[in-house]
Amino acid sequence: MQYQQKLDDIERRFDALNAQMADAEVINDSALYRKVSKSHNDLAEIVAKYREWKDATRNLAEARPMLTETDPELRTMAEEEVAKLEPLIAKIEDELKVLLLPKDPNDEKNVVLEIHAGTGGDEATLFAAEVFRMYGRFAETRGWNVEVTSSSESSVGGLKEVTALISGVKVYSQMKYEAGVHRVQRVPATEQQGRVHTSAIRVVVLPEADEVEVNIDPKDLRVDTFCSSGPGGQSVNTTYSAVRITHLPTGAIVSCQDEKSQIKNRAKAMRVMRSRLYELEVQKQQDKIGAERKTMVGSGDRSEKIRTYNFPQNRLTDHRIGLTLHQLNLVMEGKLEQVVDALTQHFQAEKLKGDGSDSRNGAPPGPETVQ
């Protein structure tokens, strides 16, 4: 196998880490133990898969000589074993190639999800609300937590825009390909003549940045407080609990009024602010290497679509990979697994063809520390 030497080195490293985790000196140093444990966990899947490959190849080597046995029963058993092991080994080798690809450093992160209504007026806001609900249902199936930090409703009960924090296990790895313009084709509830209208929304998915990655000078922030309010200006509470934070050097603004506590709202707003500044730094780095990010930050025009939701035909089409599903009703209920898996497999295959760099639309590489 092409990568066997590399896999042998990884296995030796894994065994060494295993020994370190049993070392009393490491166990008594909590920071060191966490570091060793993380490195151990990062290698566990690939080592388990490599050992599975070694077992299968060893069994195949033992079965092949039996193909020349004079005993028909033994020869038949050997033929069945070889027929089973050869495709299994090929499958494991393909899986190992994927596991050896450079990992996206953001895959383990939580995300900041933003949805903005684009072309289509009220119908776009209604679709924005439905897509947000779709992601909420998908998050439930994954055991993720969704926290709305800010939202703006339209007069018809849709969403002009919404920002939410999604926390859980490997959220970014499964949400990163959702970034872009989503187009909807259907007959709006307000349409009297039954004509199909086309509208669009824009979805942005940002990896949540840690404080270590984004160093924000407090002097660069302006913090304003105001009373939270609901639709129509109805007062939700009479205390100045809502928070608006402005990053003066960049002009980035984040508001949060979801919590009754000003402290909690400020903490949530800072999580979103860090992620936006992190993304701005990623944008600078991508601009330097000519990376295209138009899909992620587009205007919301229909021509920039990555996906179409056709309700009359119950059809979803992802234009990046040519995927078509006639199960739109299930997708809108949060059953996104088939779409997510297809996108992941496609972009992994693209990475295998190339030099290992990430070729997906809109999902940034790991940036340097933002100063």
Residue 205 has a pLDDT of: 93
Residue 254: CB partners within 8 Å, gap ≥ 6? 149, 150, 163, 244, 245, 269, 270, 272, 273, 276
Which pLDDT does position 246 carry in this prediction? Answer: 92
Distance between CA atoms of 169 and 127, rounded to whole angstroms? 27
Which CATH entry fits the domain spanning 218-285: 3.30.70.580, 3.40.50.1000, 3.30.160.20, 3.30.70.260?
3.30.160.20
Residue range 111-208+294-353 in CATH 3.40.640.10 = no
Could you read off the pLDDT of 80-130 as tens digits, one per residue? 999 999 999 999 998 898 888 888 888 888 999 999 999 888 999 999 999
Q: Give me the DSSP letters along 282-349.
A: HHHHHHHTT---HHHH----GGGEEEEEETTTTEEEETTTTEEES-HHHHTTT--HHHHHHHHHHHHH
Give the integer Cα–Cα distance in Å for 201 and 349.
28
Domains of the chain, by residue range, sit at: 4-99, 111-208+294-353, 218-285
Contact predicate 274/149, CB 8 Å: no
The pLDDT of residue 287 is 65
For 288-310, give one letter per residue: b (16+ CB within 10 A) or e. eeeeebebbebebebebbbbbbb
**What amino acid is encoded at 264 in this protein?**
K
At 304 the pLDDT is: 66
Q: What is the pLDDT of residue 362?
A: 41
What letter would DSSP give residue 250?
A: T
| Burial of 219 from C-beta contacts in 10 A (0-12 / 13-18 / 19+) | exposed
Q: How far apart are CA 115 and CA 117, in angstroms?
A: 7
Q: Model confidence over 126-178: pLDDT tens digits?
A: 999 999 999 999 999 999 999 998 899 999 999 999 999 999 999 999 999 99
Rounded to whole angstroms, what are the CA distances from 42 to 10, 99, 273, 325, 357? 11, 10, 29, 34, 19
Return averaged pLDDT per consecutive 10 residues of the chain, 371 residues in all: 88 95 92 90 92 96 92 92 95 89 85 93 94 97 93 92 93 94 89 84 89 76 79 52 89 85 87 86 63 42 78 95 95 96 89 56 39 32
Task: Select 4-99's CATH number: 1.20.58, 3.10.350, 1.10.10, 1.10.1740.
Answer: 1.20.58
Q: Which helix (H) or strand (E) holds 152?
A: strand 145-153
pLDDT at site 9: 93
